[in-house]
Chains A and B, each alone.
Chain A
């Protein structure tokens, strides 16, 4: 019998619909693998065996009764633990929300349920999605399935690792500055940050509201397309979700890249990029050219200011969003203070970890009187220039390609002492969030040490279909599909 945990979501959905396997059997296989192997990865903060089996049996019941089921019927999914789940604790990997049980579901969670997906658990993350290694979790770090001495990337490291390790074929993460794409690259899976407004943020616990976007993880591009189709679209509960029709992302996926113009920035293989990463991404570009794509040079002169801009804008928004954690309405409250201000201040001291505190401090500083124009407004002007660079580049190309991360997965503890070094992990990813455009990371090779390498493709707003088609062409030829970590 096939190992059900090795199959794609597409294949599982097909077999479940045709009753070759039961959804309950698939859920059991995933839960068994999680129970056996997650102790060495720690991708999950919460596993939901009873709820998953009940949901899977309900799908089996509908199919047996001949009732219609959704495109993901019976397919197991994992959710980053900053997505609200009614009745299931949602911690953001923070002491602040350790016992928080949301009274409502995020819109993406409702849409997954409508599509028939089976939620098996909630995955680890850097606290409040702030980090690039999943070491900032209050509940312990997640490890990379390809080498458990290394980090999985972050902040959606739990979701990336869960898909990579074969615990689930699909997972959702959130991406504010690369938090889907960078862990996808480091764990050897596909990760897509949709256009800002493509997917409802309702029920995503806010970090930086003008940058946050929910997106899919999968082991191949077709599965990512399937999952994106299930969650995309306008939602009245999120005023920033945009009313643009959702195409069938799977149709057209195999159409190839003949004539596609691939923009390659002059400096994307700069001195900070590991030579093995550069060689692998270059090979993927050559493969796209061999398949009929045309490589065109593009100039993104303000790209190098991305990190500086991002680390003003994102902490500023975070300091405002996280002001709500005052110990009054939900979440932690200190047992050890008198008076309102002392209670709030000590609650926040006890509830937040170091990186969250650092960003609240940074954001409060850059928004404070006397510094607002010099830092925050300045950063917003550069943000405009970065968006302008993309607009100009997309006049001469259809997608922009480069490495997702300058290096492959690094060792646990390697960058924790120096926040700025950790921030520089996001060099190639933050600009898509600042500009609001979609971007995907697709596995394109491995280092000699056997660590995955990801290629990033960025596209025009609401043109995820082209990104997926190009990424499909990359993975088809890169010889990476089906390669799994030895656990």
Chain B
């Protein structure tokens, strides 16, 4: 069982509003899952280099050649609130 206050904190970080029922459910389920993954702590891993990506490609460069991209209409075409050539968003500064 994860502390419901931690559930609230994580939900806030994730910008995810939860219902009361979801909060209780996730406290229990996330607690179960985290208890399960605790087994990793039993495995000796000192000095092991973390592996974030199976392909160790770094700095994949390409020539800086212009090529066709999305038109403004395509890019804005799915916007929930298109305002001319812009994405409309709720007021940010009060």
Contact = CB atoms under 8 A, between A and B. Distances in A.
Nearest to A315: B33
A478 B52 CA distance: 39
Contacts, number: 163
Interface string B39-68: 111010100111111110100101000000
Nearest to B9: A368
A340 interface: yes
Interface size class of A (residues with CB under 8 A): 35 or more
Nearest to A319: B14
Interface residues of B, number: 52
Interface string A314-340: 000001000100111111110001111
Interface in A356-409: 357-358, 360-362, 364-365, 368, 374-375, 377-385, 387
A10 interface: no
B57 A240 contact: yes
Contacts of B41: 374, 378
A448 to B, nearest CB: 32
A239 B55 CA distance: 11
B15 A311 contact: no
Contacts of A328: 79-80, 87, 89
Contacts of B18: 349, 357
A385 B40 CA distance: 11
Contacts of A242: 55, 57
B5 interface: no
Interface stretch (A23-31, A98-106, A141-149): A98-106
Contacts of A319: 14
A210 interface: yes
Contact of B36 (A197, A338, A342, A420): A420
Interface in A35-64: none
Given A348-B15, A348-B17, A381 B33 contact: no
A341 B92 CA distance: 9
A435 interface: yes
* Most chain B CB atoms below 10 A, which of A197, A361, A379, A436: A361
Nearest to B71: A103
Nearest to B19: A349
A312 B80 CA distance: 33
Contact of B37 (A210, A312, A385): A312
Given A360-B16, A378-B45, A210 B53 contact: yes
B26 A103 contact: no
Interface of A: 100-101, 103-104, 196-197, 210, 236, 239-240, 242, 302, 305, 307-309, 311-312, 319, 323, 326-333, 337-346, 348-349, 352, 354, 357-358, 360-362, 364-365, 368, 374-375, 377-385, 387, 419-420, 423, 434-437
